[in-house]
Chains A and B, each alone.
Chain A
Amino acid sequence: AQSVTQLGSHVSVSEGALVLLRCNYSSSVPPYLFWYVQYPNQGLQLLLKYTSAATLVKGINGFEAEFKKSETSFHLTKPSAHMSDAAEYFCAVSAGTGNQFYFGTGTSLTVIP
């Protein structure tokens, strides 16, 4: 079975500071991992995905994530936060022959000017 845990339902950072959003997964088979961003009253937009190639994955808007098998983690980072990064971020896992994505409960990012 697969599952995702996102530590910290709310994260606040100052503009220009490092963004770190945590995601830990559970999977009995090699996983595919995704980060999505959701702006208010909108759908989910793909930020980046890991599909067993390079462990450091670069996405859009300056975000990147590193797959660490030993830690079962896929944390999302951005060196310098921008006001436009304020949104809800979801980590998701898909694995094996399953047909669905398993989503974490989300992390709401606030950027303080």
Chain B
Amino acid sequence: NAGVMQNPRHLVRRRGQEARLRCSPMKGHSHVYWYRQLPEEGLKFMVYLQKENIIDESGMPKERFSAEFPKEGPSILRIQQVVRGDSAAYFCASSPRWAQETQYFGPGTRLLVL
């Protein structure tokens, strides 16, 4: 059973460009979470999605950030007009049922904004 997959593993963007981060949950998991880890810090929750629905986006910045989890295909975290402060590791996690269940993490996407 493959784990949570994220791609790309590393992404370099110039200021003002768009970044698209992809996450494929574990097989059988219908709950996806995105977290951001800044250097020397813990993980901060961004958004929680189920298929075709955003359940909780309380941790998402109000502008430039969006997420989706379509019926078919991976979950996408999209950052428009990136700035240097967006440089971080972005982790996706999935769980089989409700949110308190164990969350299984992907390897992360490390975004560097030049």
B91 touches A44 (CB 8 A): yes
A32 and B103 alpha carbons, distance in the complex (Å) = 12
B91 touches A100 (CB 8 A): no
A103 and B103 alpha carbons, distance in the complex (Å) = 12
A43 touches B105 (CB 8 A): yes
Q: How many residues of B contact A (CB 8 A)?
A: 27
B56 touches A99 (CB 8 A): yes
Query: Of A13-21, A60-68, A90-98, which stretch is located at the interface?
Result: A90-98
A54 and B91 alpha carbons, distance in the complex (Å) = 30
Q: How many residues of A contact B (CB 8 A)?
A: 23
> Please, which residue of chain B has its CB at the minimum distance from the CB of A42?
B107
> Please, which residue of chain B has its CB at the minimum distance from the CB of A6?
B42
> Please, which residue of chain B has its CB at the minimum distance from the CB of A95?
B100
Find chain B residues with CB under 8 A from A43 CB: 4, 6, 91, 105-108
Find chain B residues with CB under 8 A from A94 CB: 99-100
B107 touches A101 (CB 8 A): no
Known contacts A100-B33, A100-B56, A103-B43: A36-B48 contact under CB 8 Å: no
Flag whether A56 is at the interface (Cβ < 8 A): no
A41 and B104 alpha carbons, distance in the complex (Å) = 16
A32 touches B108 (CB 8 A): no
A100 touches B59 (CB 8 A): yes
Find chain B residues with CB under 8 A from A26 CB: none
B48 touches A101 (CB 8 A): no
Find chain B residues with CB under 8 A from A32 CB: 100
Find chain B residues with CB under 8 A from A51 CB: 100
A113 and B100 alpha carbons, distance in the complex (Å) = 38
A98 and B55 alpha carbons, distance in the complex (Å) = 11
Min CB distance B74 to A, Å, is: 16
Query: What are 17 A-B contacts defined by CB distance under 8 Å?
Result: A41-B110, A43-B4, A43-B91, A43-B107, A43-B108, A44-B91, A46-B104, A49-B102, A99-B33, A99-B55, A100-B59, A100-B99, A101-B33, A101-B45, A101-B93, A103-B44, A105-B40
